[in-house]
Structure 1
Amino acid sequence: MIRLANVLIVDTNAGRAAALAERLGRGGYHAGIAPDAAEGMRMATAEHPDLVLIGQSEGTDPVEFGRALTENAVTADIPVVVFADQLTADLCDRALSAGLTDAIAMGCDDTELFARLRPLVRLAVMHAELRQRAQVAARFGVIARDRVEGPGAGNAAVLVIGDDAEPVTTVLGTAVEAVTCANLYEAESLLTGRNFDAAVLSFREEPESVLGFCSQVRNNPRLFNLPMVLLAGMATDPAEAYRRGATRVLPHPVDPVVLRSAVIALVRRQQLRWAIRGALNDSLQNATRDGNTGAYSRAFLDSYLAGRLEVARTQGRQLSVIFFSAPNIEGVRRQFGDDAALHLTQQVGQWITGLLRAEDLTSAFKANEFCAVLPDTPLVEAEVVMHRIAGVLAYTDFAVREVYQPVKVWVQVGCADARDDDDVDTLLRRARRDID
């Protein structure tokens, strides 16, 4: 059975825990239940789930138990969420101070629940990918980090968008650099020009285009990971806002402590993603790199993919592979020479890597061809990624050394997801069937 995530629920209330597990199951998550903190710690240490959700544990404060998980070397990289019947300002503040990843109200609907959990699952995937790459890199004599410590919110920048930005910047204070802009048009320009760790949308009266803006950001190849907090008025349906790409939807006006906790937690999460991305690059060294393209080598791909297939089989996880082939690079070679063709190939590989998530791996496969491995990704999502990247490449004018005109590439693509009986060769062969 395919699982989107393995979740551990720690809650003394057996009925509530079972109801939450059933609810998660409908979303494709597999949930185990621990009745108290001691069993929760044992299961978290032994099973290393993707997420830990903490309710009530007799004799143990949920936030303090969450803190214990974040301070345990074995479980420190597991996202930890406290859930309660009602979110209070005090609970949100304490959860933030304890280093917990989030706090969620039990009464939220499924749209919000899964919208809030999905980024945490991706964070767990990034941690797992870091461990996987470090393990494979070691076979090639490369020492790479297999974990990173969560950074604070220092040196973070938050874009506050709207005509009611001042209360937000006041709440955030000096915890982050708050950059303000009055409208969505100006926001587009600012987001294009620099990196932000989060965005907050705060309008006295929300423009009709605000949800469209959320969708636009979420579909942008460079911004799709940007956390967005929407302070929503009565006219906005929170469920629709989550569907359109908002990361967190809060009522407007909102308790200042709840707002600050939400934004700082998202900033920390974003900076952790950047830290993991940097650590993932540790494994890309001369021994694991393709000498021509700069991407991972074919030998690394074969070793890495064998391990990924084993994880997919034993843990019921999804795994997809995408191929990108650019046959017209040979025309560039014939017309402008080997150096021009090599430069173009390197750029194509860099663009593919840049348009994928940090946890996805790009490898050289053979001349003018790249393979991308997408862990914990179903085929339907991989196909969307494949066509998006192919479209971007097709519309890009490449500047190639010693070629004094823009160069276009067209790509052939192929995609497949892993089956239980796959080995490396059968999976790659099936993914390439539309290219060969």
Structure 2
Amino acid sequence: MSARVLIVDDVPANLKLLEAKLSAEYFDVLTATSGPDALAICERGEPDIVLLDVMMPGMNGFEVCRRLKSTPVTAHIPVVIVTALDQPRDRLQGLDAGADDFLTKPLDDVALFARVRSLSRLKSMTDELRNRAAASRRLGIADPLVAAAAETGLNGRVLLVEDRVSVAERLQSALSAFHLVEVEPDSQRAAVRAAEEDVDAVLISLDLQGQDGLRLCSQLRSLDRTRDISVLLMGEAEDRGRILRGLDIGAHDFLIRPIDRNELLARVRTQVRRKRFTDRLRDSLQSSMEMAVLDQLTGLHNRRFMDTRLAAMFDESALRARALSVMVLDVDHFKVVNDSWGHDAGDEVLKEFADRVRACTRGIDLVARMGGEEVVVVLPETGPKAAYAVAERIRERVENTPFAIYNNSREIPVTVSIGVASRKAGDASSADIVKRADDALYRAKASGRNRVIAANAA
């Protein structure tokens, strides 16, 4: 799908010229003639990238950019400031406002199209993460977009790939005031270090002796462990063709020598912020996925996951004619624990109980909290005798060591009752096994608790 580009300029002739150029390259073009109009369009989520003029009445482009980047719902939209201002301080002001790039009029069409394509690809990569991460709010997680938008881009870990010692020292000195910077003169070792170390950004010189900086860029963008790292290229003005090629390969930004210190700091900070923005959304997505299948108190799987997974395990067991056993465990007199020691103590007991059950099971076993103090363990490829032995091992582990409460300041005795059942040829579904195990648990409770009863022993 073609990227949607919003052009913001108060001069109609400029709007029409840019619109014609971008439309000819098959971009969908939106236009706005003022800052407030641009903000409204972005808040509706219409553009994939914004080309923003600086000199506008009322609200200039720097302020528009600053507002876009500080608002969670628009912070992810790439912004390119397009202006006749060409001094380093002007670029710095735009980058400090959060701009992803700064292009000077008159525009070079090839550079413009390369930048728009590069940034629109970057946005499309984060859109799905944003959509999924936004669902975290419904699961009780703090809004991930707010946290991501608050990222400062400081204290990043930067790998500088430069084989000229004096140049590397100058760049490292400039960046070290705000980031942890390490220098690697060898491109192959740089690829390995980027994959093995927690790197936020890699600065690659295009002037490496006997080495190809673009090949390193390609490697970083193609490997799973490095494709999310921000990549910035550094080259001479005559390297323009290679730099544009680097943007096509997947580099996020570039710097032209001689490199202005303030521009270096601003561009690196922007790319560190971009990388961490994506990381926060990805972490939020992982958290929301875990919340969908895990019980938040104990870390065990929840009932929803267990019902689905147990059904699949039962079908596989029946298809392959392999054993399958289920244990239903219930902490004895748990209500007394809550009533006597408080619900916080009860939570401590449940957490420790879950840990002890996990310690007695295998990685292939399914351990889930059914609710309250009841836990279900599903044991694939395990027959009645082996399942009974596991249950007895859990019972002993619970009984033999008191449970710490009140942050380890007190200890109380805890026991557990367990019912065990295994799949039979006539079972129609996993519910049949669980029902027999639950009945066995009831008999264990009725017989005095702190014991294991197998369904086939009735």
Same-fold status (TM-score > 0.5): yes
Correspondence for 2:28 among 16, 27, 30: 30
Correspondence for 2:210 among 203, 207, 210: 207
CA RMSD of aligned residues (A): 4.0
CA distance in 2, matches of 1:18, 1:289: 54
Do 2:3 and 2:120's aligned partners in 1 also have CA atoms closer than 8 Å?
Answer: no
The one-letter amino acid of 2:117's match is: F
Bigger shift: residues 262-271 or 284-293: 284-293
Q: Which has the larger radius of gyration?
A: 2
The one-letter amino acid of 2:62's match is: V
Describe the SS at the equivalent of 1:237: helix
Instruction: Report how far residue 287 of structure 1 moved.
Output: 4.0
Instruction: Report how far residue 189 of structure 1 moved.
Output: 2.6
Tell me what 1:256 maps to.
261
CA distance in 1, matches of 2:220, 2:323: 40
The percentage of counterpart residues that share the same residue type is 22
Distance 1:85 1:118, change over 3 A: farther
Tell me what 2:282 maps to.
277
CA distance in 2, matches of 1:48, 1:179: 40
Q: Mapping of 1:21-170 within 5 angstroms? A: 21-26=19-24, 29-47=27-45, 49-55=47-53, 56-72=55-71, 75-85=74-84, 87-105=86-104, 106-107=107-108, 108-131=111-134, 133-134=135-136, 138=138, 143=141, 145=143, 147-148=145-146, 149-164=149-164, 165-170=168-173
The one-letter amino acid of 2:83's match is: A
Distance 1:190 1:23, change over 3 A: same
Describe the SS at the equivalent of 2:145: coil
CA distance in 2, matches of 1:26, 1:226: 32
Describe the SS at the equivalent of 1:67: helix
CA distance in 1, matches of 2:291, 2:119: 39
CA distance in 1, matches of 2:209, 2:50: 35
Bigger shift: residues 52-61 or 214-223: 52-61
Correspondence for 1:9 among 7, 10, 26: 7
Do 2:78 and 2:120's aligned partners in 1 also have CA atoms closer than 8 Å?
Answer: no
Describe the SS at the equivalent of 1:275: helix
Do 2:163 and 2:209's aligned partners in 1 also have CA atoms closer than 8 Å?
Answer: no
For structure 1, the residue ranges without an aligned partner over 5 or more in a row are: 301-329, 347-436
Do 1:142 and 1:285's aligned partners in 2 also have CA atoms closer than 8 Å?
Answer: no
TM-score by length of 1: 0.60
Tell me what 1:172 maps to.
175
The one-letter amino acid of 1:248's match is: D
Q: Mapping of 1:236-385 within 5 angstroms? A: 237-287=242-292
Instruction: Report how far residue 169 of structure 1 moved.
Output: 1.0
Distance 1:344 1:293, change over 3 A: farther
Distance 1:185 1:35, change over 3 A: same
Q: Does 2:182 align with 1:182? A: no
The one-letter amino acid of 2:41's match is: M
Tell me what 1:221 maps to.
224
Distance 1:180 1:34, change over 3 A: same
CA distance in 2, matches of 1:25, 1:88: 30
Do 1:161 and 1:180's aligned partners in 2 also have CA atoms closer than 8 Å?
Answer: yes
Describe the SS at the equivalent of 1:147: helix
Do 2:35 and 2:64's aligned partners in 1 also have CA atoms closer than 8 Å?
Answer: yes
User: Which has the larger share of helix?
Assistant: 2
CA distance in 2, matches of 1:28, 1:299: 49
Instruction: Report how far residue 338 of structure 1 moved.
Output: 7.6
CA distance in 1, matches of 2:323, 2:210: 53
Describe the SS at the equivalent of 1:284: helix
TM-score by length of 2: 0.57
CA distance in 1, matches of 2:293, 2:98: 35
CA distance in 2, matches of 1:176, 1:205: 23
Describe the SS at the equivalent of 1:178: strand
CA distance in 2, matches of 1:266, 1:337: 54
The structure showing larger relative contact order (alpha-carbon pairs under 8 Å, at least 6 residues apart) is 1
Bigger shift: residues 179-188 or 39-48: 39-48
Distance 1:11 1:246, change over 3 A: same
Correspondence for 2:235 among 218, 232, 236: 232
Describe the SS at the equivalent of 1:188: helix
CA distance in 2, matches of 1:225, 1:24: 28
Distance 1:206 1:247, change over 3 A: farther
For structure 2, the residue ranges without an aligned partner over 5 or more in a row are: 309-315, 326-361, 367-458
CA distance in 2, matches of 1:30, 1:110: 13
CA distance in 1, matches of 2:171, 2:307: 51
Distance 1:72 1:113, change over 3 A: closer
Residue-by-residue CA offset, 1:323-355 (whole Å, 9 max, x unaligned): xxxxxxx89x9799889xx95899xxxxxxxxx
Distance 1:204 1:111, change over 3 A: closer
Do 2:293 and 2:301's aligned partners in 1 also have CA atoms closer than 8 Å?
Answer: no
The one-letter amino acid of 1:8's match is: L
Do 2:7 and 2:29's aligned partners in 1 also have CA atoms closer than 8 Å?
Answer: yes
Distance 1:21 1:293, change over 3 A: farther
Instruction: Report how far residue 74 of structure 1 moved.
Output: 5.2
Instruction: Report how far residue 121 of structure 1 moved.
Output: 4.0
